[in-house]
Amino acid sequence: MASPFIVRQPQLPDLILEPSNSDPNARSYIGGISTTIYFVNDLPSGSIGKIYQIDYHGDRILWGDSRNLPKSGYFEVTAYTYQPWEVVFSHQGETVTKIYYPAIVPACVMLNTAVFPIWRLGGVLPSSDPSPRSHQERTARPTVITFENHLQIKVEIRWLGYNGERHHYASILPGLSSRQDTYVGHVWEVVTADYEKEPIVLFYAAPHEGIAEINNNFLSVSGQTSG
């Protein structure tokens, strides 16, 4: 029987439960204080969070599935402090399992992609790809790149279209970052604020969320300076 969902209301508690790494030996114990957990769906379309109750023998019993919730909807669960819950997250072909231990006061479990590791993307020198352009997969897979500017100068972020045409998307001041939604197979280039200069580095969108660190290593190779 599918678990009922409730549309998110403003009275949800402010306390957010922090996840613990999966523990195959985790199990419930008799006793504990009665409390409430709200499993709030903040997952993007196509991602899944399966919620399991861990019983006294350590067996996982499927309790709920984020696909039965609308965006920002939630499951309200009566729980006990000695009874842990497990959530198996699936996102862009990766799976992560986390355990949540109830607090003595009502709290939320945010079902989102923050539990997945964020990888650092390797930059590619423009000289190694003389004709860079984005490629569109048969099934477009969304992903995210966060561009971090570790230089002392402003940089510009441009997306390279399917024919290699350039589209300006962001300007990033020193020490700041810009989060960019994109798709696997897309190519992004970084240039200094002077558009007449050549790009200093290319980044290729990967199936997982990634950080594109823009630093002096790329300037030194390209012959540009941050001063």
The tens digit of pLDDT for each residue in 83-117 reads 999 999 998 778 999 999 999 999 999 999 889 88
- Answer yes or no: is pLDDT of 37 > 90: yes
Is the confidence at residue 170, as pLDDT, over 90? yes
pLDDT at 60 over 90: yes
Starting at the earlier edge strand, list the strands of the sheet with 60-65: 20-21, 94-100, 85-91, 48-54, 60-65
pLDDT band at 142 (very low <50, low <70, confident <90, very high): confident
Q: Which amino acid is at 43?
A: L
Whether the per-residue pLDDT at 156 is higher than 70: the answer is yes
Distances (CA, A) of 72 to 3, 6, 64, 65, 199: 16, 9, 15, 14, 40
Express each pLDDT in 63-73 by its tens digit: 999 999 999 99
pLDDT tier at 209 (50, 70, 90 boundaries)?
A: confident
Question: How much is the pLDDT for 1?
Answer: 41
Average pLDDT over residues 159-178: 93
E strands along 66-165, which residues?
74-80, 85-91, 94-100, 107-111, 119-120, 142-149, 155-160
DSSP bridge partners of 142: 183
Q: Is 180 within 8 Å of 144 (Cβ atoms)?
A: yes
How far is 178 from 28, CA to CA, in rounded Å?
43
